[in-house]
Structure 1
Amino acid sequence: VLDRQGLDAFMRQIRSKFESSLIQDEKNERFPGYARRRWGGALKTLLAAIDKV
């Protein structure tokens, strides 16, 4: 279980993965958009968790 500061730090890491997924998608032509959808879903879940804290 993460406290508010832990969730904020974790969310920053997920945001950086989400933003860097644009660059990775250009390299990975086999499944375009997969990484962005994956990290976007994780970010959405974290934002919902922060609202409940």
Structure 2
Amino acid sequence: MAWKNLTQTSLADAFIHEHEAITELDELNQLIDWKSIEFQMITVNNNPMGERAWPVMV
């Protein structure tokens, strides 16, 4: 028989709850110059023959 654990948080609850690790990742994201990294990696896996590659930052 299936049962539900009422003390377990849901995925939505996890997004609402502020966590220190998420705050740290947001701060790190602001420090990185993503445009510069994308410019340097634009030629990686970019073959003119065949299908276009996925965007580098994906």
TM-score range, shorter chain: 0.3 to 0.5
Higher relative CO (Cα under 8 Å, sequence separation at least 6) belongs to 1
Report the structure, 1 or 2, having the larger helix content.
1
Normalising by structure 2, we get a TM-score of 0.32
Give the number of the structure whose alpha-carbon radius of gyration is greater. Answer: 2
Tell me the TM-score normalised to structure 1 length: 0.33
